[in-house]
Amino acid sequence: SQQGEEDPQALSIQEGENATMNCSYKTSINNLQWYRQNSGRGLVHLILIRSNEREKHSGRLRVTLDTSKKSSSLLITASRAADTASYFCATDTSSGYSTLTFGKGTMLLVSP
Amino acid sequence: NAGVTQTPKFQVLKTGQSMTLQCAQDMNHEYMSWYRQDPGMGLRLIHYSVGAGITDQGEVPNGYNVSRSTTEDFPLRLLSAAPSQTSVYFCASSGAGYDEQFFGPGTRLTVL
């Protein structure tokens, strides 16, 4: 069963605009991770936020986590056409080695 | 480093045939896993391994076998292929103490 659910399913914006994607999950987590997948390619890890963290930044990426609402958001600032991809949140609820449960993803299209 | 490699990239099988999807990593990662990705479903965990000789089932293990005889390799066997196994298969690995996973480029499998 899907632990994380992204919203929206699809997002279309212009270059330079910000893109915000949301993820909701059902059970307590150790950490939440965001991955990017370009069409036909493997997933690439973007950022990880632990359950005791509320916000994290990496370059143009900002992730927030609200454990009371069981939700996270990924903000991409000043989007570029190269950001066009699908974005997945993945929750880690295991102890020891990471066992991830992925959401269905948000498809982001950034137009020049 | 090549990272995580998968072969073949594409495969077409007939119902009832068997085959092995290969996965190898050169990062000395202890943890390896197999996911399948279906349209609109995100990634679902099939099997995973926390070290040589140790494997366990994920969310959707039926119809698949795995073994882990070396740290580097983690093959996925389809015993008797069914059309429901048509999917894109991803292998991933992560190192001890690290939570992010590194993904291979995927194998696109079609079962007729």
Residue B41 sits at the chain A interface (C-beta within 8 Å): yes
Quick one: pLDDT band at residue B93, thresholds 50, 70, 90? very high
Taking contacts as CB-CB distances below 8 angstroms, the residues of chain A near B36 are: none
Min CA distance, B44 vs chain A (Å)?
7
Q: What is the mean pLDDT of chain A?
A: 92
Question: Which tens digit of pLDDT belongs to each residue from B14-59?
Answer: 999 999 999 999 999 999 999 999 987 789 999 999 999 999 999 9
The count of other CB atoms within 10 Å of the CB of residue B111 is: 19
Closest Cα partner for B90 from B22, B15, B40? B22
Check residue B29 and give its pLDDT.
93
Q: What share of chain B is helix, strand, coil (3-state, %, to 5)?
A: 5, 55, 45
- pLDDT band at residue A5, thresholds of 50, 70 and 90? confident
Q: Establish if A48 touches chain B: CB-CB under 8 angstroms.
A: yes
Contacts by B59-62, CB closer than 8 A, 24 or more apart:
B59/A1, B59/A101, B60/B36
For residue B107, the Cα-to-chain-centroid distance in whole angstroms is 9
Q: Average pLDDT over chain B, rounded to whole? A: 94
Work out the pLDDT band at A4, boundaries 50, 70, 90. confident
Q: How far apart are CA A16 and CA A110, in angstroms?
A: 9
Instruction: State the number of CA atoms in the 13 A half-sphere of A3 facing the CB.
Output: 23
Residue B80's nearest CA partner among B3, B15, B6 is B15
DSSP string, A18-85: -EEEEEE-SS--SEEEEEEE-TTS-EEEEEEEETT-SEEEETTEEEEEETTTTEEEEEE-S--GGG-E
Radius of gyration, alpha carbons of chain B = 13
Instruction: Give A28→chain B minimum CA distance, Å.
Output: 16
Per-residue pLDDT tens for A49-66?
999 999 999 999 999 999
User: CA–CA separation, B38 vs B40, rounded Å?
Assistant: 6
- Most B CBs within 10 Å, among A35, A36, A38, A100, to test the B interface: A100
How confident is the model at residue B1, as a pLDDT? 77
Residue A2 has pLDDT above 60, yes or no: no
Tokens for A101, please give them: 């449960």
Inter-chain residue contact B31 with A103, CB threshold 8 Å = no
The pLDDT value recorded for residue A34 is: 96
Residue B26, token pair as written in the block: 């050169």
pLDDT confidence band for A95 (50 / 70 / 90): low
The pLDDT score that the predictor gives to residue B25 is 97
**Per-residue buried b or exposed e for A43-56, using 16+ beta carbons within 10 Å of the residue's own CB:** bebbbbbeeeeeee
At residue A6 the predicted structure's pLDDT band, cuts being 50, 70 and 90, is confident
Question: What pLDDT digit, counting tens, does each position of B52-90 carry?
Answer: 999 999 999 999 999 999 999 999 999 999 999 999 999
Q: At A97, is the pLDDT very low, low, confident or very high (cuts 50, 70, 90)?
A: low
Whether the pLDDT of residue B95 is over 70: the answer is yes
Distance between CA atoms of residues A55 and A86, nearest Å: 22
- Closest chain B CA to residue A1: B59
Among A52, A59, A23, A45, CA closest to A98: A45
Cβ contact (<8 Å) for A104 and B40?
A: yes
pLDDT at A35: 96
